[in-house]
Amino acid sequence: MMLKHNNCLCLITLLLASFQITFVYCEGWAWISGDKIVDQVSTYQYPGGRSGASTWHDVNVNLTWMFGGQGFSEFPSGKPHLLNDLWIFNFNPVTEAKEKMDYFVKLGPVVSTGNSQKEIKPWPGIRQHASMCGFSDSLILFGGLGENGTGLEDLWIFNLRDKTWRQMSKKGPSRRGHPGVWCFGSFMYIFGGLGEKGQILNDMWKLNMLTLEWTLLQPFSVDMELPFKADLPEGRNGPATWVSGGAFYMFGGNTASSFSYSMQLVEGLVSDMWRYFPCNSTWDRVKDPMITDNKKIHNHMDAEKDAGPTIPGPRIGAGSWVDSLGNLWLFGGAGSDASLATASKHSQVLSDIWRFNTKPKVWEFVGGSREGGKAGIYTNLGEETVDGLPGSRTEMMVFPGKSDKIYIFGGVGHDGRKVDGFLNDLWSLDVSSVMSYQYMISVLSLLLFLGVGIFLLIIGFVVGLSSREDKHHGLMNRLSYTAVRSGLGASGHQYKQLKTDSEFIM
């Protein structure tokens, strides 16, 4: 009897939890700039459609640098090509008018195919998926994927003051693009990536951005079994990465050497989560109760079946950011969506939003569409609305904003007409609303549980009065008391969890 009652309370909690998702969705997305049609060319004030650009956010000046990618420059060639233009994104537009030119400033150069004004100044060549970090007044760019997917190994340093590039000749990691990248103080860490001939790499390197010295932390290994023997992450390209609480996190990516950006296979896509401690250079598999056997992650069908919707599906090219409480966020990418029915040999573009809480180490689906392949819903420019939704996409750029607001720019995926191509739309998402609503929900549920409890007490009292001889009235009263106590207990727990979260400010 009591168990049954607790189940009922659980159900109410679940119902409330599902409201939370709706709230997030309502308050979240706003389309604030760019086009709702794919494959737009650049203007001098606004970047054209693109994916796989490298970004670095400078917290000291609240600006994000964006370099290259694949997509459209200002030359209407009709076809996407690799880029090498450098932009600054500023979430505080210069003027109040919500126009394209407010958010981006172009630093150069023009990606040209045989133009008259020859660039005299040195400038990195065209590429996508390069590794980029910054420190003090320098921006560092390493490698990437050049023409025909060829891995690059050049190292460039951009002086933020005099706006010039210099190529460095320090010997470092082999040619590669799309590794896991972590910017950490004056260091850039990289793991794996796609090598010169498309091989999957599994070495780890550290670049000291002050001395420009590379350090090999973990050598490349051809032993395919080594990761499992030594409990190291498998080599991969395109994982999502985060820095939180002094540790590095890495989720998913592609582990198959048969990988090609154009073929969109799901074979080799993984959904494992790893943590790396830079203080003692050790990896630690972030244990997920759903995946205990290392080998299982190889088979995405297994991962889906076992983990169901409680962890994000295997994917590559997802967007990632960290909130003010140190939680890890994930958006979109290309991979498997939540429906097993659509699990096929081909990946889907995604638009789901997930949050990983680093303390209890759990994933939580927060919003967006669980189904892949969604068209964008572009509502009134600049307005946060119930209906707005960025189309499913991968290899988009994420720019941190003020407090817990983030910006998503471009990527390759579906536009408003569900046409596939290179996007240049700019969306904002305020996740601080998720946090405050979480608190509101616990207050709401407390009130609701109190209400239910009082209601049951009254019923119990009435029943007790009307049938004094009824042997069960004692039980009924006890039950009501339990209801009130459980109500308080459940809400109290939620509040406590929130408090634990806020203790974890990085």
Ligand X SMILES: *[C@@H]1O[C@H](CO)[C@@H](O)[C@H](O)[C@H]1NC(C)=O
Residues forming the site for ligand X (CB under 6 A): 61-62, 147-148, 150, 277, 279-280, 282, 402
CB of 282 to ligand X, least distance (A): 4
CB of 154 to ligand X, least distance (A): 14
- State in angstroms the smallest separation of the CB of 403 from ligand X: 6
- Any alpha helices (H) in 158-264, and if so which ranges? 226-230
What number of other Cβ atoms are within 10 A of residue 388's Cβ? 21
Single out the residue of 20, 26, 22, 33 nearest to residue 384, CA to CA.
Answer: 26
Instruction: Report the nearest approach of ligand X to the CB of residue 64 (Å).
Output: 12
Distance set, CA 124 to CA 156, 403, 450 (Å):
7, 33, 64
Question: Are 355 and 331 spatial neighbours (Cβ–Cβ below 8 Å)?
Answer: no
Please work out, in degrees rounded to the nearest 5, the angle formed at the alpha carbon of residue 17 by the alpha carbons of 11 and 21: 140
Residue 228 or 455 with smaller CB distance to ligand X: 228
Nearer to ligand X, 152 or 389 (CB): 152
Q: How far is the CB of 457 from ligand X (least distance, A)?
A: 48
**Phi, psi of 230, deg, nearest 5:** -95, 0
Taking the complex as a whole, the smallest distance from the CB of residue 281 to ligand X amounts, in Å, to: 8
Short-list 118, 123, 120, CA closest to 141:
123
Residue among 62 and 385 whose Cβ is closer to ligand X: 62
Q: What does each C-alpha distance from 86 to 43, 408, 489 come to in angstroms?
A: 13, 17, 54
Q: How far is the CB of 9 from ligand X (least distance, A)?
A: 37
Q: How far is the CB of 402 from ligand X (least distance, A)?
A: 4
Tokens of 296: 């299982």
Query: How remote is the C-alpha of 186 from its chain's centroid?
Result: 23
Of 195 and 333, nearer to ligand X (C-beta) is 195
Residue closer to ligand X by CB (options 62, 339) is: 62
Based on CB atoms, which residue is closest to ligand X, 402 or 472? 402
Specify the residue, 228 or 277, whose C-beta has the smaller distance to ligand X: 277
Q: How far apart are CA 333 and CA 20, in angstroms?
A: 24
User: Residues, the chain, total?
Assistant: 506
Distances (CA, A) of 423 to 86, 131, 240, 392, 442: 17, 21, 20, 11, 39
Closer to ligand X by CB, 55 or 379: give it.
55
Shortest CB 358 distance to ligand X, Å: 12
Q: What is the dihedral of CA 123, 125, 129, 131, to 10 degrees?
A: -40
DSSP-based three-state secondary structure for 164:
strand
Residues contacting residue 5 through CB under 8 Å, at least 6 positions apart = 479, 482, 483, 486
In the bound state with ligand X, the residue whose beta carbon lies nearer, of 147 and 387, is: 147
